[in-house]
Structure 1
Amino acid sequence: MITLVVTACPAGLRGDLTKWLLEISPGVFVGNVSARVRDSLWERTVGLCKDGRALMIFNAPNEQGYDYRVHLHSWEPVDMDGLTLMKRPNAREDYQRARTGWSKARVYRRAIRR
């Protein structure tokens, strides 16, 4: 059993995935396919997705009972003592990285005050 979630991907990819999987909501596909077909669908999804995001969850013979793959996602899988967990990005770090300096308006107002 697999679940494949695509975001901001071309409509052609969604149409292609419906050949093998059932689309239960826009961009959410569910199905029961072999590992060979699953890997082929993932390669095709990554190839056609371009700037969009993709996340696939599937059954696996491990302690969790499932595994997942991500493509261009802000959350990234991290292995913690044999368990694969999703690491969420820290909102504060993203905000601090986004601010590279003062805005042009702030610099202009400050120059006028001096």
Structure 2
Amino acid sequence: MASVTVLCTTSVPDHVRGALTRWMIEPTPGLYVGTLSARVRDELWRVVSASIESGAAVLIHPEQNEQGYMLRTAGERRRIPVDFDGLTLVAFRPEEFQKPTERI
């Protein structure tokens, strides 16, 4: 059964954005929303996570669990999903472990 899926991307290659817009709408840059089957959703996520390069992506889709949804991430992010007794919570990576950013 098809269900609403949300995918948020940051700094992904143009060909990935093009592939996503074939299946989903992009109401704001980097945010994709669509009604996808599990098979299409998983295939899109496989393509996105394999092509992420220096970018990042977060996928949220319905799932049969306590929260009613699943959260998947790819790429380097400060926020990390952590399983806490079956619930997905978001933890922050300490800043000292962050990659230094260039200042102009």
Give the 3-state SS of the residue equivalent to 1:32 in structure 2.
Answer: strand
Match in the other structure for 2:72? 69
Give the gaps of 5 or more residues in structure 1: 99-114
Residue 84, structure 1, aligned to residue 64, structure 2? no
Distance of 1:64 and 1:56 partners within structure 2: 15
Match in the other structure for 1:3? 6
Q: CA deviation at 1:94?
A: 4.2
Bigger helix share: 1
The count of corresponding residues between Structure 1 and Structure 2 is 96
Give the gaps of 5 or more residues in structure 2: none
Match in the other structure for 2:26? 23
Q: CA deviation at 1:38?
A: 0.6
- Cα RMSD (Å) of the superposition? 1.7
Query: In the TM superposition, what are the counterparts of 1:26-37 in structure 2 within 5 Å?
Result: 26-37=29-40
- Describe the superposition over 1:17-51 as per-residue Cα deviations: whole angstroms up to 9, x where unpaired: 00001111001000010111110000010122211
Bigger strand share: 2
Determine what percentage of the aligned residue pairs are the same residue.
41
Which structure has more RCO (C-alpha within 8 Å, separation ≥ 6)? 2
Distance of 2:50 and 2:86 partners within structure 1: 29
Distance of 2:20 and 2:8 partners within structure 1: 11
- Describe the superposition over 1:75-104 as per-residue Cα deviations: whole angstroms up to 9, x where unpaired: 11111111011111234x448x96xxxxxx
Distance of 2:68 and 2:40 partners within structure 1: 19
Distance of 1:70 and 1:94 partners within structure 2: 18
Runs of 4+, deviation exceeding 4 Å: none
